[in-house]
Structure 1
Amino acid sequence: MDARLSLRYERMVQSYMKVSEPLSAGMKALNDGVSSFAHTQAAWRFYANPMVSLSVLQAPLTAAAHEGITERCGSYALCIHDWSRLAYRHANKADRYAITHASDQGYDLQSSLVISDQTGEPIAPVAQCLVSGVGRQATYEEEVLTPRTHLDEVSRAMEHLEGLGFSRPLVHLMDREGDSVGHYRRWQSSGIQWLVRIRDNPQLTYQGSALASKTLAEQLTYHRARTVQVQGKPHEQYVGEIPVSVTRRSKPSCKKQVQPSVAGEPVMARLVVSRLFNEQGDMIAQWLLLTTLTAPTADTLVLWYYWRWQIESFFKLLKSAGHQLEAWQQESALAVAKRLLVTSMACVTVWAIAVSPQPEVQQLRQLLIRLSGRQMRSKVTFTYPALLAGLETFLALVQLLDSYSPAEIQTLSQTLRSVMHKNV
């Protein structure tokens, strides 16, 4: 990115640190004397610039991931993959498509988020793919190509990420949509390490016998791992594990015609089961996890999967608690994808403020929470939406100080008090 584009990018990131209203056509106006329409037009030109590709906009996010992994990860970096539907009712997006049915119009977003294996705190999104009616736009491929299935797409993203040379090996986390034996074999052949929540019924082989995973879960010996809080109440978590192999035939996904099942090499893995009990001793939740990792303890693996929820928080910050993604009025998936990457850099900035141990940053964090005016639960010192809202107010104050002298601000303050006294 050349110097002029880099400056525009920096200013757009600063603008997208502001919490958006539900109707948000473009970037918010900065307090620099330029009209909001001019800022919107500048953003439109930026997104339409052919030099500003998705890979160019992804580069700062990847750099932030490299730095964050080095500073905040231990033995591994955890990479969470998930999908989110973006519903758009306004018809000015001609490339919308029916995601699940005719009235479900919009785009399909796949994101890959790196988090710390030590704290579970988010670091940066390292790959994103937006599927529209004209194809898929991905940060790791320059061309618009035919959409793949979810797991084929995420497998391509995983293979790309493995080649980026991060300072810690990646562990890829997915929910039950990732439970696919054909993809297990693909990841195994590529040397990819993964942790996936599996369904109850697929068979796993243990000591020569093929049994349903839920049947194997009943045969495990469990130990108490930790006490966790669920809706403010303490619950006990118990964990057990057993070595297994995946030997069953794979069934390729195809909606138009039945595909024959395919045999393959056994996948040696660990079945890790987490059970959650309430104060009355009733089991209220059970996770069946499968992984090829050998070093981390079962307790650690369960905690890693619990941190998978961070990508849901990321989607929430994009869609409803900060940036109102589903109200953007850009007219194409490519423009939405570009704006999404700039907005993601604003999220990365908020995450960095949230975890920094530096005293001056901690002081800034406390100030941002005060400026946000947000209410939080007892003992919760901050939330990402509150930091984002506080940052908006703080940036406005900084721009105010750059635009007016202290004497001018004092005069304006006296004018405001005079108006209030006359009308209150």
Structure 2
Amino acid sequence: MATDSFADLLSVYMRRIRASAAGVATEIGLSREAVNNWRNGISAPNPRSRDKLVACTRYLRLTEGEANRLLSAAGFAPEFPLQAESVGEPPFAGFQDKVFAQLAQAMPYPIALLLSPAHWGQPPFRYELLRRARAQYGEGSVLHIQPPYSVSTEPADYFAAIARQCGLGDVASDYEFESALERRLLGGERIFCLVSRFEQGTPALRETLAGILRSLSEMHSGRLHLLLCGGEALADLKYRSGDLSLLNIAHVHHWPDPTLDDLMQLAQLRWPEHTWTASVVAVLETLSGGHPALFEEGLQWLVDHLGPEASLHEGHAAFGALHTHLASSPRLWQTFLPLAQTPATRARLQQLLQADDLGRARPYLQDDALRSLFWGNLIHARGAGDAARLHWRSPTVREAGRMVLESCSTD
């Protein structure tokens, strides 16, 4: 909200979990003085510290809506665009139906990973996923685990926090957490557990949690249904480390690109007071390539410049202006810039920007530049199975990459 005070919001969120300025500073890589200056209204985050503020939202355990609110108060774009709770038939309904149907049928281990690139949220459309789970499993049988962000959390505090999230009462150790969850399963209950940001915290605590969930899944076959959500870091845990059996046996789903119908629903959800025609949304789909944050930026530009009865086509006078505006999006630049700032990666980026086909899509991309672009949501896979190939999301995205290269070469 535009009227929110960044300093006041930060103070409220810090007090809620009794976070000290020193604790926040240690976790996000700033000085205690800088955090105190934010909290006291002496200074505000500058454009280069957006990533620090996003890390702060995780450490403070903010919901997607709260994170967006704090970022907005600091003058930044939301981290989780288009994630409002929907009314009626939601976007991506068919995909979510498929995920839940496959999870219910998976035996002996109903465990799935839901991987999504940047700007979709982790997990995407959390409200809808939990609503569907409650309808399928029952209101009291749906748990949501979000492991603490802090790497300095003590094991007892880590499992106490997770137990509270699950409504399991007070626990003081990993053993007590496992016992409390097992008591629910011993009663014959079928439990659904959504685990978001599983990759947070220390490797040792993550491995302990994974071991508990895997063990309970084995001992109570078919009763503990797990959906673990994340992005690049979760994919790295599955494909690069290879030592967490919980992830190794999980079925993998990738959040799909939006269809035109999905985008129509997202536009109506975000700006219900405006009339969005299929032709306008189709043009914006072409410009954004389905990139969620870029699509929302385009919607906002149309609202600001063309009004509620927006009309747009490739020959429209506003088409070029909108293309230029989107190519300058900070969301695109913050993914391209790290690749353009060193000679080796700059040469690789230049090579990729000249290509229409970027190679075969694989379960895990070994090429560092391709992997960064994929999880940054700037490239995507087209086709299915062995025929799937990687391509740029849109000419707008490629134009942004060229602008970044040009900027770095003239600095």
Interval of TM-score (by shorter of Structure 1 and Structure 2): under 0.3
Bigger strand fraction: 1
Question: Relative contact order, CA 8 A, sep 6+: which one is greater?
Answer: 1
TM-score of the two chains, using structure 2 as the length reference: 0.25
Bigger helix fraction: 2
Structure of greater Rg: 1
